[in-house]
Amino acid sequence: MAWREWATGECWLYCERSGVLVLFVGPFQEDGWHAPIFACEDCLNRMRGKARRYIQARDQAPAR
Say whether pLDDT at 5 is over 80: yes
Could you give the CA distance from residue 31 to residue 56 in angstroms, rounded to a whole number? 32
pLDDT at 3: 64
How many angstroms separate the CA atoms of 28 and 5, rounded?
A: 19
pLDDT at residue number 61: 76
Return d(Cα 58, Cα 24) in angstroms, integer. Answer: 27
- pLDDT in the model for residue 60: 86
In tens, the pLDDT along 24-62 reads 999 999 999 999 999 999 999 999 999 999 999 988 878
Phi, psi (degrees; rounded to nearest 5) at 49: -60, -45
What is the structure's pLDDT at 13? 94
Say whether pTM exceeds 0.85.
no
Q: What ranges do the domains of the chain cover?
A: 7-60
